[in-house]
Amino acid sequence: MTTTASNADVRTLRMLVAGAERAPHATETEPVYDPATGAVIAHVPLGNAADVDAAVAAARAAFPAWQATPVVERARILFHYHTLLEAHFDELARLVVRENGKTLEDARGEVRRGIEMVEYACGAPTLLMGETVRDVSRGIDCESIRYPLGVIAGITPFNFPMMVPHWMIPLALVCGNTFVLKPSERTPLSAERFAHLLTEAGLPAGVFNVVHGARATVTALLEHPDVRAVSFVGSQPVAAHVYRTAAAHGKRVQALAGAKNHLIVLPDAKLDQAVPAIIASAFGAAGERCLAGSVVVAVGGVADELVRRLDTAAGGLRLGSGLDSATGMGPVIRADHRERVRGYIARGKAQGATVVRDGTTNGDGNGHAGAAPDPDGFFLAPTIFDRVTPEMDIAREEIFGPVLSVVRVETLEEGIAVANRSRFGNAASIFTTSGAAARTFRERIEAGMLGVNVGVAAPLAFFPFAGWKNSFYGDLHATGKDAIAFYTDQKVITSRW
C-alpha cells in the first residue's frame, strides 16, 4: 500500500513543526481512504528520523519559555481552544466520519469527549497544586511542587482520531510540557485540523508539533534522547513493544492497549434495556472500539431469548455512510482489516461455534442490510456466534470488528471466571437487577472500566482510563489525576529558616 509518487489530484499532508507546515524529509507516502467509499482522500507522509528530529528539536526549543509561562496563561490558551472547538464542532465531527467511517452521532460523541478533556485541563491551576505539611520537625516545613517533564511524544490509533489525542495533549500542555504527536497514518486528517486550531488559539510556535508516519516514525520517537515521556494508545502487541522500547531508552511510558470485553447478562436482567446496550457496544463504530463488548456471557435461562433478540436487533442495523442519519453501522477502516475480520469469522465456524448471523454472506456479499452502501466501501455486516467456548480464537483474541460471541454459562461465578480467563482487562459490564450480583461482579472481575447496566463504560476526563492486565502497560493511566502525575515530576522541599 506504500507509494512513492502521489496522485496529483489528492494532496499530501505536511508536518507541523515550530508553528509552520513543513514538507517532510521522507519521500514515502501512504494513501488515506474514506472507508465508506474506498476513495483516496489524501496521502500521508511516512516520516523518517530527520522528520522526528526536526519536530523534537522544535518542541525542545519551545519548552523553556512555555514552562515559564504562568499556568493561568497556559490554561487561558486552552479556553480559547475550547471556544474554537465548539465553533468547529460539526466540521470536526464530519472530518472524523470522513476518515474513520463511524456514524456522525458517534463522531459527535467523540468530539464532545475530546472537548471535555480540554475543560478538565482548564482547571490546571487547581490540579497542579502541591502539598504542604508545616512542622515536620520543630521549625521545619515540607512542601511538594509539580514541574513539567519536557518533550512528550503521543502516538495514537485510528479509531478515535479526535478523542484519543485529547486524552494526552491538553493535560500535557497545560502542565507546561511541549508535545510531538504522531497520529495514526490511517486517520491523520483530524490531527491536522485541530493542530491549526491550537495555533489559532494562540499556542506559541513549537509547543505542539505533528509528525506523520508509521512504524519507523514511532521508532525514532521512542529512541530519541530528547523525548522525556511517551503516551501511546493502540493494539496490544505494539503497546508492549512501545512500553519495552521507550523504557529501555529511559523514558516514562503509558501504553494503553487492546481489549476483549465481556458483557455478563443475568437471568434477571431487563432485556429491553440490555439488548440495545449490547448491540451498541458490539456493533457501534463497527466494533472498532477498545471498549466494545465482544463476548456476551449469558447466564442460565436467559441465553435463548437473549440470542433471539440480539439477532433481530443486529438485523435491523442498516449499513451505510456515517453521514447518512439512517445508518446504524458504518464500514470498517480498511479492506485488509475487513479480510482479517472475515478470517476470524471463518475460524469461528471452523472451530465449531454456532452461526446465528453471518456478516460475510448477508446481503450482496459486501454484507450490508437495507439500502446498498457504496460497493467500494469497506463494509461488513454484523456477525453473531452462539455456543462459543472460551478456548475458541473468537472468544480469546481482539477482532476489532462487528463480531459478537455468546458464551453460555450456568452461574454468575462461572461467568466471572470466563471473563477473568482473558489476558485482557480493559472493560467489563454486567446486566442485572440485583445489587448483590452487581457488587459481586465489581469485587471479583479483573478489569478496570466497569459497567453496571451500561454497555460501554466510556472514559471520563476526570477519572483515569483504568485498563488492567494486557490492556495497559505502565503505572500511571491516561486522564484524570493519573495524567497530571504522569506529565509532571515533583520536588519535595524541606525548609528551616
Any contact of residue 29 with ligand NAD (CB under 6 A)? no
Which residues, numbered 190-219, are part of the site for ligand NAD (CB under 6 A)? Answer: 214-215, 218
Q: How far is CA 478 from the centre of its chain?
A: 11
In the list 97, 127, 164, 198, the residue contacting ligand NAD (rule: CB under 6 A) is 164
**Binding track, positions 424-463, relative to ligand NAD; x by CB under 6 A:** --x-------------------------------------
Pairwise CA distance, residues 134 & 36, whole Å: 62
Q: Would you say 66 or 158 has its CB closer to ligand NAD?
A: 158
Report the greatest alpha carbon distance in the chain. 81
- Nearest CA-CA partner of 168 in 126, 220, 114, 242: 114
Torsion of CA 382, 383, 387, 391, to 10 degrees: -110
Q: How far is the CB of 124 from ligand NAD (least distance, A)?
A: 23
Q: How far is the CB of 456 from ligand NAD (least distance, A)?
A: 12
Q: How far is the CB of 185 from ligand NAD (least distance, A)?
A: 5
Pairwise CA distance, residues 305 & 77, whole Å: 54
Pairwise CA distance, residues 457 & 133, whole Å: 38
Q: Would you say 34 or 185 has its CB closer to ligand NAD?
A: 185
In the list 47, 114, 258, 474, the residue contacting ligand NAD (rule: CB under 6 A) is 258
In the list 100, 177, 184, 190, the residue contacting ligand NAD (rule: CB under 6 A) is 184
Q: Would you say 258 or 348 has its CB closer to ligand NAD?
A: 258
Residue 23 CB neighbours (<10 A) = 10
Q: Would you say 153 or 409 has its CB closer to ligand NAD?
A: 153
Specify the stretch interacting with ligand NAD by CB under 6 A; choose among 33-41, 44-52, 179-187, 401-409: 179-187
Place of cell 433471539: 308
Question: Cβ distance 102 to 321 under 8 Å?
Answer: no
Which residues, numbered 364-403, are part of the site for ligand NAD (CB under 6 A)? Answer: 398, 400
Specify the stretch interacting with ligand NAD by CB under 6 A; choose among 26-34, 126-134, 230-238, 308-316: 230-238
- Nearest CA-CA partner of 35 in 273, 286, 216: 286
Q: Would you say 76 or 469 has its CB closer to ligand NAD?
A: 469
Pairwise CA distance, residues 350 & 354, whole Å: 10
Question: Cβ distance 468 to 446 under 8 Å?
Answer: yes
Which residues, numbered 136-155, are part of the site for ligand NAD (CB under 6 A)? Answer: 155
User: Pairing between strand 20-22 and 15-17?
Assistant: antiparallel
Pairwise CA distance, residues 149 & 181, whole Å: 16
Specify the stretch interacting with ligand NAD by CB under 6 A; choose among 124-132, 156-164, 320-328, 488-496: 156-164
Q: Would you say 121 or 257 has its CB closer to ligand NAD?
A: 257
Q: Would you say 42 or 238 has its CB closer to ligand NAD?
A: 238
Any contact of residue 257 with ligand NAD (CB under 6 A)? yes
Q: How far is the CB of 459 from ligand NAD (least distance, A)?
A: 7
Between helix 303-315 and helix 271-283 the angle, nearest 10°, is 50
Pairwise CA distance, residues 394 & 346, whole Å: 10
Any contact of residue 185 with ligand NAD (CB under 6 A)? yes
275: buried, middle or exposed (CB in 10 Å: 19+, 13-18, 0-12)? buried
H or E element at residue 41: strand 39-45
User: Pairing between strand 140-148 and 132-137?
Assistant: antiparallel
Any contact of residue 182 with ligand NAD (CB under 6 A)? yes
C-alpha cell at 257: 492497549
Pairwise CA distance, residues 383 & 195, whole Å: 38
Residue number of the CB closest to ligand NAD reads 234
Any contact of residue 238 with ligand NAD (CB under 6 A)? yes
Any contact of residue 233 with ligand NAD (CB under 6 A)? yes
Q: Which residues are catalytic?
A: 290
Any contact of residue 157 with ligand NAD (CB under 6 A)? yes
Specify the stretch interacting with ligand NAD by CB under 6 A; choose among 86-94, 126-134, 177-185, 346-354: 177-185
Q: Would you say 228 or 260 has its CB closer to ligand NAD?
A: 260
Strands (E), 149-200: 151-155, 178-182
Provide the binding-site residues for ligand NAD, judged by CB under 6 A. Answer: 155-160, 164, 182, 184-185, 214-215, 218, 233-235, 238, 241, 256-259, 290, 398, 400, 426, 465, 467, 471
